[in-house]
Amino acid sequence: MAKIAVLGFGVVGSGTVELFYKNKDSIIKKAGTDLDIKYILDIRDFPGSPFADKFTKSIDDIVNDDEVTIVAEAMGGVNPAYDFVKSCLEKGKSVVTSNKELVAKKGAELLAIAKKMNCNFLFEASTGGAIPVIRPMHRCLAGNEISAVAGILNGTTNFILTKMINEQMDFAEALKIAQDLGYAEKDPTADIEGHDACRKICILSSLAFGKHVYPDWVHCEGITKITAEDAQYAENWGGAIKLIGSVKKTADGKILPMVRPAFICDGNQLSHVSDVFNAIMVYADAVDQVMFYGRGAGKFPTASAIVGDIVDAARMNGTSVSQTWEDSADNSFIADYKDDVVSVYVRTKGVSQAKVSEAFGTVEYISRENQPADELAFITPELKEKDFDAKLEALGGEILGKIRVLDMED
């Protein structure tokens, strides 16, 4: 018998409670032990809620109740979630969380406490929402050495980019629709500047390579500079533009985590992931590539991942070694993205093909409908990122757009 406390009764927290009671019988059967929710922590009142008897405003009620062995944190943000989670873990309670910011910023520390206290700190819901990816990566792929991960980790930006490419919409217009539909927040910065995807690639990087990657260490570019014209060129090139969070091993034994929009060719499954859906491709020595696809956010999709972790926490004693990573004292194991070798899509105005050849050698030109006579768009050969800007400057003319081509194997 395990008693559960749910921290936060917002979208995800209430989804977790509702889903738990909806499928309670089969959940208990799968857990192999009786389960019930004893507390719901929220500073707000919910008069008339069917769960009225479970609400508390004090984390101490939960921390000091030895009957509570599993805590589901769905508050979001680092504070006060961090203090609450830490207090629970220090009491030996397993914690499951959907809080990507918490895991990306405090994961190593919280995992160390869980290990010490022989309880679980699980976070399937923090990355990819409904998509099983954390557990498959560290458990099912345990026989592999992972070489790279690349994912569409943010549904809002994927919705916007899908609109831009399918309906020739401008960024601002597509963002407005996303906001009207509730996919994007009033202040959409965290999504469109890539900060949300950045937290998720930090979690995946830490899990894949065993050392904590902090968000500040990751080169991160958003999608605000993408235009409808860029999207059109991408389609004519035979692909799509996606916001990609990725990490790969580099030749010098470091890792390169990164977030940026990218041209992705049709041959790569990620190019077909549309609307608010997310997908994560994992490249590893034995499997070659595997991809996990589904809804990256939302009330019940995220609740699904939390409940899955609750069932696991009820079944397992102690932390799983493969799901932990160590803290990293500094970022010396993070490669400089300027040393990366890339191909880049470039869109120019008032530049001659002769100048392009002079700067980049042989490029692949792309065309679009209604392309102005003074506009050129092309894909450069592979070159060192650090050499790119100088060559771009040598073109003269105006640079209307530049987007990297995804450099993972297809």
Q: Name which of residues 216 to 275 contact its own copies (CB under 8 A).
A: 269, 272-273
Provide the annotated active-site residues: 200
Alpha helices in 193-240 (DSSP H): 195-209, 228-237
- Shortest reach from residue 300's CB to its own copies, in Å: 4
Shortest approach of its own copies to residue 267 CB, angstroms? 8
- Taking the least distance from each CB to its own copies, the nearer of 318 and 381 is 318
Whose Cβ is closer to its own copies: residue 154's or residue 323's?
323
Minimum distance between the CB of residue 270 and its own copies, rounded to whole angstroms? 10
Residues 6+ apart with CB under 8 A from 344: 379, 380, 383, 388, 402, 403, 404, 405
Residues that bind its own copies (rule: CB under 8 A) add up to a total of: 54
| 121 in Cβ contact with 206 (< 8 Å) | no
Q: Select the span of 6-14, 80-88, 211-219, 317-325 touching its own copies (CB under 8 A).
A: 317-325
Binds its own copies by CB under 8 A, chosen from 161, 311, 351, 366: 311
Nearer to its own copies, 82 or 325 (CB): 325
- Strand order of the sheet with strand 35-41? 55-56, 35-41, 2-7, 68-73, 94-97, 121-122
Residue with tokens 């002769």: 354
Q: How many CA atoms lie within 13 A of 272 on its CB side?
A: 9
Helix (H) or strand (E) holding 220: strand 219-220
**Number of Cβ atoms within 10 Å of the Cβ of 48:** 6
5, 7, 27, 198: residue in contact with its own copies (rule CB under 8 A) = 27
Distance CA 39, CA 18 (A): 14
Specify the 3-state DSSP secondary structure of 136. helix
Site for its own copies in 119-178 (CB under 8 A): 124, 130-132, 135-136, 138-145
**Choice from 307, 346, 376, 408 touching its own copies (CB under 8 A):** 307
Q: List contacts with its own copies (CB under 8 A).
A: 19-20, 22-23, 26-27, 29-32, 124, 130-132, 135-136, 138-145, 269, 272-273, 284-295, 300-301, 303-308, 310-312, 315, 320-322
